[in-house]
Every structure is written in C-alpha cells, then in structure tokens.
Amino acid sequence: MFKNKPTRADVGAIDTLIGPQVTLRGDLIFSGGLYVEGHIQGKVLAEDGARAVITLAEQGSIEGEVRAPVVVINGRLVGDVYAEERIELAAKARVQGNLYYKVVEMSAGAQLTGRLIHADAMQAASAAGTRAEAEERVMADA
C-alpha cells in the first residue's frame, strides 16, 4: 500500500567520511560525497562545478558556512547554507542560519532558526541592488 521513498543516486555515494571522533578546524573543500559524523569548525565548500553532496549525520556538527549543490542535514549546523540544487532537513536537523536554496525538503521535527531564501528571490535582490547602485552613479554624475 505504501511505497518506500526511492533512494537518490546522488545522496548514496560516500567518497569522504569524517568520523565521530574527528574534529576538523579550518576550511574544507571537497567534491563527490562527504559524510560528516564528527565536528567541523570552518567553511565547508564544494569545488566549483563538481558533483558534490554533503550529508551531516545526526551526531555530527558544523560551525561555519556550507556551500554545495546538494546538502542533507540531520545534525547541528550553525551558519548559512547555500545549495545550488537542493537542501534536505531530516527529522533531527538543528540549523541556526539562513538557507539559500532552489528546492528544500523539510521533515517533521527539523528545526530552523533563520530564514529560507529562494534562489530566485536572491537573484532578484542582487539585480535590484545592482540597479540601485547604477542609478546612484547616474544621479551623482548629473
């Protein structure tokens, strides 16, 4: 009667594991699948143009900005998240920061202290900011 949710190929592959006993201080740049069970204090950035998925496990934590095409959170994250494709907040996710997304999926029980900002709204705001700066320069030149 009920069908299981299909598993996504992009979320399943793990190329790098940060184990539960590991604390990493500093920025991390990765590609492929990154699975975090430990603790990261610093930015976590996917390589430009690379297929990259970061999964934050229930016992894991990140204190810093996260930028990747696909971000799956089930642990504690303090910082802003920028996802080019999708953000998934699982039931145990605890996020303090803003989420910049194209698609977001949030399970019952997930907690977000921050704002959800859709990519279209972000692009419109940056275009409006550029337009306003240009208008200010024209007025200053007159």
Per-residue model confidence (pLDDT) at position 139: 44
Percent above pLDDT 70 for the chain? 76
Q: Which ranges of the chain does DSSP label H, i.e. alpha helix?
A: 9-12, 119-141
Please give the average per-residue pLDDT across 87-116, as a whole number.
Answer: 96
Please give the average per-residue pLDDT across 113-119, as a whole number.
Answer: 93
Phi (first) and psi of residue 96, to 5 degrees: -115, 100
Taking 3-state DSSP, the helix, strand and coil percentages for the chain, each rounded to the nearest 5, stand at 20, 45, 35
Residues 6+ apart with CB under 8 A from 66: 43, 44, 45, 54, 77, 79, 80, 81, 82
Judge whether 21 and 36 are in contact, CB under 8 Å: no
* pLDDT top residue among 73 and 118: 73
Is the pLDDT at 62 greater than 50, yes or no? yes
Strands 81-89 and 103-106: parallel
pTM of the model: 0.78
Segment 11-58, tens digit of pLDDT: 568 899 999 999 999 999 999 999 999 999 999 999 998 899 999 999
Per-residue model confidence (pLDDT) at position 124: 55
Classify the C-alpha dihedral 75-81-85-89 as positive or negative: positive
Residues 6+ apart with CB under 8 A from 53: 10, 11, 13, 32, 33, 34, 68, 69, 70, 71, 72
